Structure 1
Amino acid sequence: MRDHNYFVYILASKSRTLYVGVTNNLERRIYEHKQKLIKGFTAKYRIDRLVHYEHTEGIEGAIAREKQIKGWLREKKVALIEMYNPTWEDLTPSELKQLTP
């Protein structure tokens, strides 16, 4: 099986509701969340701020890491975010931030 670029990411709303996902195209996926093109939890609760992401080369590793993080208590997810992004800054590239409705 070929390796590709995959990302595990955490999105947050302004009120810090969290969502954990996996994708092979981080910019496209964040755009979809910001434009509310993905119906469901993230659109309903306005979860569109990228607060953490990790790169992996294989889908198996990405899915395993996503499941691991999803299994954590909220406090552990918050600790992971704050270890690398203590101010919960939106890490979305600036050109995508401008597209937020």
Structure 2
Amino acid sequence: MTIYIGNLSYRATEEDLRQVFQEYGTIKRVVLPTDRETGRMRGFAFVEMDEDAQEDAAISELDGADWMGRQLRVNKARPRERDSKQVVRQSGF
């Protein structure tokens, strides 16, 4: 399972997220997506931890928490939905 963190401060770094989430267990991976054109953070991140129980505890404790002046949205990440344009481009049509 992967955790989605939304409404994230644009000042947040990977190290900031590691410090917050390590309180709940071992972190496998942190991803901070950036805008392709500007290179700036997009205001959300993904964190993957070793155990589902650790991720559940982090979600339960951090969803709605005020962090860096913003109220976080923390939940289980859902698979990215593909739109029809994306499918057409990948299939070569």
Q: What TM-score, normalized to structure 1?
A: 0.28
- Please identify which structure carries the higher helix content: 1
Q: What TM-score, normalized to structure 2?
A: 0.30
Return the index of the structure with the highest Cα Rg: 2
